[in-house]
Structure 1
Amino acid sequence: METLVFQDLDFNQTLVEDHLYFEQHVDGFGIAVAVLYLVVCVLGLAGNLLVIVVILKLDKMSSSTTVYIFNLSLADGLFMIGLPFIASQNFQNHWMFGDTACKAVMVLDGINQFTSVFCLTVMSVDRCMALLEPFRLARWRTPRCAKIISLFLWFFSLLTILPMALHFSADGGLCIPDSISDSWWLGVLSYTFVLGFALPYTVMLASYTAMLITMRSGRLTAMNQESARLEQQMTKMVVAVVVMFGACWLPFYTFNFYSLYHGGLALTLARAFELVVLLSYSWSCANPILYACLSDSFRRHFRSLLCPVAKSSPSMQCNTERSDLTESGRDVTTQA
């Protein structure tokens, strides 16, 4: 799916018919939202690109967790590419890129949105396996196995989204489905909500609960102190990403279902919906920030990568960071 783009565009069509708001009003709020879209896009692209480079250059996908993080960041980064197109249509109430670009953006955004959610789900299960049965399930948590699973997730996302994405066209001046009815709209909403949010999030919460019970039971005391600390740190990072996912996407789905039963939308609600759409995109932008804040390994990796381009005093601090990175090069592998 691309839940966001699919539902957002359909909802914009409703706004056009009911209010002609976006067509007639380009005020300070619209400009501010457009700027926020741009900021999220730039930060999302830069942050996820940094994560990808760090994993490829410094970690080299040495664990199952970093393989999933790599694919999550790749999907999130590619997801940002569609944001300027969506922001342009929202701002101008007109699709100016042609019918082919409409279908391409829908397919691209759909694949990346689904893959992002699926990767986060599998990563939560992977973390749960690492804490519950670290030795018995180790053969399912190798980088090779994680890469095969990731390839399957990309392919499954394509199969999931393709039937809906190809129904989009820009013939009417907006990139929307060829035909819209209440039953079709309800079907799309239900399909995307269940497959792109409800089921994955249920699995994430179940994994989170199992991890929390394991961490509180003291089972990590069997590990040495440093390994236990790294396991807890990586697990908390994944849990934070899961919580952020729910906080960013649940309001979006709530607004969309609400729109089914309220044909006439107040200006305040229309503006609030724009912010909710922005919030859902912000999740992909927030993940690299969470990695940097909650993982010592990623933080050291980021510093090691960015340090050489710093203008100030090249020497001691950079060398120290590289030394720390070398000494703890096993961190990300151990964590996963």
Structure 2
Amino acid sequence: MTSPFTNLTSTSTLCTDRMCIFYAVMNTLIFIFGCAGNGLVIWIAGFRMKKSVITTWYLSLAVSDFIFCCTLPFGVVQKVKDDWIFGSFMCKFRYFIKFLNMYSSIFVLVIISVDRCVLVMFPVWAQNKRTIRKASVILLLIWIISAVLSTPAVIFRKLKYEKTTRCSNNITDTESHIATAACRFVFGFVIPLFVIISSYVIIIWKLKSNQMTKTKKPFKIMTALIATFLICWLPFHTFAFLDIKYKNLEWVKIGKGIGISVANANSCLNPFLYAFMGKDFAKHCYKLLSKIENAIEEETPNKEQDSPVVTGESKLLSL
């Protein structure tokens, strides 16, 4: 009886080159830590903590990252075997989830930035109008828009039968390739970055003008999350454009592979940022669960405070 691994071990395309090993090892680690970390965030934010607007945002981020991490083993198997063995549906589904994760993650970060901006500018209105139900509706719209923007992955991703089966883009003309890359870059990077920076400029200006700087924990967490997202996805977008004209160059192929792996890494980093940005992590690093909870918890307003404006802005800083 032939072993199912016979073809893998006998083929000349066995994963032995450095890029293949790098991709396989890195994405395996992302899968392990991403599923574990995001699973913990889903459990804590979804079941242990009191429901709030901010935990709703972070729960959506964790769900998106968890789903994506679950699809990574398919890519690892394809890279190691140099053969796609999972059929046409999974070929399309895997890349659809990849871009669904990209769009939904950055859109949620945009909403969190705008949400904090509104809390600073209109604290009393925000306390009365900012509800979990409205946050859930906004998240539903975000996921729908993200799904629509991810449809090119379904349309253009197809199986190619050569010496082996490949799950690859089937874009034949340069115009469509440019349009697809430009759409992802504009809607998944440029516009969100502009909105986030604008929101943070307003927040910094408002807080400095009112000297409301009791704690910087939430600001540090969001800054870290956004910076991590941008750093992880910028190489991907850069080499996506270079791949249009220079796809046969070896350094572009290497850069594209690294860019994809670094972009995938974003999905496993958020839970660790929640923990490391919490209070006194160096002193209490073994309390991982409580640190994740502390980092994303939304505290209730202090009823003893006299000024409603101060209460609103203090609530922002305690998020």
Question: What SS does structure 2 have at the residue aligned with 1:166?
Answer: helix
1:67 aligns with 2:50: no
Asked whether the equivalents of residues 291 and 298 of structure 1 are also in contact (C-alpha less than 8 Å), the reply is no
Q: Cα offset for 1:295? A: 2.7
1:273 aligns with 2:252: no
Aligned to 1:111: 100
What code does the residue aligned with 2:107 have? F
Most deviating of 72-81 and 271-280: 271-280
1:287 aligns with 2:267: no
Asked whether the equivalents of residues 110 and 165 of structure 1 are also in contact (C-alpha less than 8 Å), the reply is no
Query: 1 CA distance for matches of 2:298 and 2:110?
Result: 25
1:234 aligns with 2:234: no
Q: Cα offset for 1:54? A: 0.9
Query: 2 CA distance for matches of 1:259 and 1:240?
Result: 29
| 1:247-269 deviation line (CA, Å, top 9, x unaligned) | 11111111121222324312x44
Q: Cα offset for 1:23? A: 4.7
What code does the residue aligned with 1:67 have? T
Closer/same/farther in 2, CA of residues 211 and 23 from structure 1, 3 Å limit: farther
What code does the residue aligned with 1:43 have? F
Q: 1:57 aligns with which of 41, 44, 47?
A: 47
Closer/same/farther in 2, CA of residues 65 and 281 from structure 1, 3 Å limit: same
Q: 2:179 aligns with which of 183, 187, 199?
A: 187
Query: 2 CA distance for matches of 1:100 and 1:109?
Result: 14
Aligned to 1:125: 114
Q: 1:211 aligns with which of 203, 211, 226?
A: 203
Q: Cα offset for 1:292? A: 0.6
Most deviating of 287-296 and 22-31: 22-31
| 1:160-218 deviation line (CA, Å, top 9, x unaligned) | 22354133222432222344221111111011111111111111111122222233334
What code does the residue aligned with 2:151 have? L
1:43 aligns with 2:33: yes
Aligned to 2:134: 145
Q: Cα offset for 1:35? A: 0.9
1:245 aligns with 2:258: no
Work out the percentage of aligned pairs sharing the same amino acid.
27
Aligned to 2:4: none
Asked whether the equivalents of residues 217 and 278 of structure 2 are also in contact (C-alpha less than 8 Å), the reply is yes
1:87 aligns with 2:76: yes
| 1:88-118 deviation line (CA, Å, top 9, x unaligned) | 3334432111112112223333323221121
Closer/same/farther in 2, CA of residues 164 and 25 from structure 1, 3 Å limit: closer
Closer/same/farther in 2, CA of residues 205 and 332 from structure 1, 3 Å limit: farther
Query: 2 CA distance for matches of 1:282 and 1:38?
Result: 10
Asked whether the equivalents of residues 249 and 280 of structure 1 are also in contact (C-alpha less than 8 Å), the reply is yes
Question: What SS does structure 1 have at the residue aligned with 2:26?
Answer: helix
Structure 2, unmatched stretches of 5+, are 1-11, 302-314
Q: Cα offset for 1:82? A: 2.1
| 1:103-144 deviation line (CA, Å, top 9, x unaligned) | 222333332322112111111111222223221233443222
Aligned to 1:311: none
TM-score (normalizing by structure 1):
0.75
Closer/same/farther in 2, CA of residues 71 and 257 from structure 1, 3 Å limit: same
Closer/same/farther in 2, CA of residues 77 and 158 from structure 1, 3 Å limit: same
Query: 2 CA distance for matches of 1:179 and 1:283?
Result: 27
Query: 1 CA distance for matches of 2:44 and 2:228?
Result: 22
**By percentage of residues, which structure has more helix?**
1
Q: 2:241 aligns with which of 234, 242, 257?
A: 257
Give RMSD over aligned pairs.
3.0
Aligned to 1:315: none
Aligned to 2:7: none
Query: 2 CA distance for matches of 1:203 and 1:289?
Result: 25
Query: 1 CA distance for matches of 2:277 and 2:50?
Result: 20
Count matched residues: 286
